[in-house]
Amino acid sequence: MKMEDFEIKVLAYLDNTMSKSDRDAFEQLIESEKHLKLRFEEIRHVDFLLRSEPLQQPPKDFTSNVISNLHQRPVEASAISIVRSLLLLSGIIMVVVICVILVTNGRFDTMTALVDLGDLNLASKYVHKNLPAISIGGRSLINVIILLNLLLGLLILDKGILRPLFQKRMHAG
Amino acid sequence: MDSEYVVIDRILEGEAALYTELVDRYKGYVFTIAYKILQHKPEAEEAAQDAFIKAYHGLKGFNKESKFSTWLYRIAFNTAVSYKRKQKHQFYSIENSIITHQQEADGILEKTDKKKYLQHAISRLSETDQLAISLFYLEELSLEEISSITGTEANTLKVKIHRARIKIADELKKILDKEALTL
């Protein structure tokens, strides 16, 4: 018998998951083979030590602490940590500042994108009139991007930084 | 178990003070689970308290299909794991390294203390195996319960626990042989 198979039997024996006949056969086996008996004793000894491990007990005032804090809402783990939120926010602020500098320097004034709605197949299928071409200025586009970035920044400031901070302070108090 | 459900119903009806009964009954287990994961008593105490508070606020959601203890231990397990993720770099590694070095400096361990030999053998296991074996030897927990607490599939868990028990026996044998040589 392989040692691995024997060890599986030892654990089944110790966990009391063997049938009566299997237990008897197993007991006979370990009595007949000295090295198997030795291995059995090693594993049984560890099992005994592990089973006699005491349960850890919290301090005596544990229950009263729980009861006195019971009406505090548990702190919800935020999806992103405050540090990560700060990093993200500083990245957004940097992007916004760079965009504002470029816009005020007039870098996007000459850029325009022409979106011709008439080119879309949609026009021939559902609309019978000629659709106009829309000209989008680079400056307006960047302004929209800046605005979206600012909104995202405010959201991160609220959800990722201020709220967790206030919650922490509330629980500390 | 029925009386436990009665207590839960009464708590839900507004008798919050009865929650003391549940805290007293399970604090040892909840604290032990937290301690096995965090390996730091003050932090384990905080996590265990947090778990009980979360369980209290989530009591309405407990559907009584599983045992209250299993449901509570799952909360304790998840809370301790999230504490560990947050606090890992603050003190856990420092404390462990101090213990490890102290033990090595003491000629591995004191010669007659079997519990310390055992702890040393357990500390050689991976973190997940340590936890699996600890939960397995916590009174009353079946493989299925450990599986639902940790979210690990029962068969995988069975193999893990089996290997861990054998590995501890091997490690303990190695330590004892080493100790015998130094005597």
Spatial contact of B20 and B29, defined as CB atoms under 8 Å apart: no
Give per-residue pLDDT as tens, B10-40: 999 988 889 999 999 999 999 998 988 888 8
CA dist A154 and A89 (Å) reads 9
Delimiting residues of CATH 1.10.10.10 domain(s) in chain B: 106-183
Residue B81 has which token pair? 């794991």
C-alpha to C-alpha distance for A70 and A83, rounded to whole angstroms: 29
- Show residues of chain A in contact with B133, CB under 8 Å: 50
CA-nearest residue of chain A to B174?
A42
* Res. A169: pLDDT tops 50: yes
Q: Nearest chain B residue to A80 by CA: give it.
A: B86
Helix (H) and strand (E) counts for chain B?
9, 0
CATH topology of domain B1-90: Rna Polymerase Sigma Factor; Chain: A (1.10.1740)
- The interface residues of chain B toward chain A in range 29-68, judged by CB-CB distance below 8 A, are 29, 31-32, 35, 44-45, 48-50, 52-54, 56-57
- Encode pLDDT of B34-83 as tens digits: 988 888 899 999 999 999 999 999 998 888 778 898 899 989 988 998 88
d(CA B16, CA B137): 32
Q: How many CB atoms lie within 10 A of CB B57?
A: 14
Of A42, A62, A70, which has the smallest distance from its Cβ to B169's Cβ? A42
- pLDDT tens digit sequence for B160-170: 889 899 999 89
Question: In chain B, where does the domain assigned CATH 1.10.1740.10 lie?
Answer: 1-90
Q: Evaluate whether A47 touches A14 at the Cβ level (below 8 Å).
A: yes
Q: Using the beta-carbon criterion (under 8 Å), do B32 and A56 form an inter-chain contact? A: yes
* Under 8 Å between Cβ of B34 and B47: yes
Q: In this complex, is the C-beta atom of B20 within 8 Å of any C-beta atom belonging to chain A?
A: yes
The phi and psi torsions of B46 (rounded to 5 degrees) equal: -65, -45
A2 contact B CB<8A: no
The CATH number of B106-183, from 1.10.3720.10, 1.10.10.10, 3.40.50.10580, 3.40.50.360, is: 1.10.10.10
Backbone angles phi, psi at B52, to 5 degrees: -65, -40
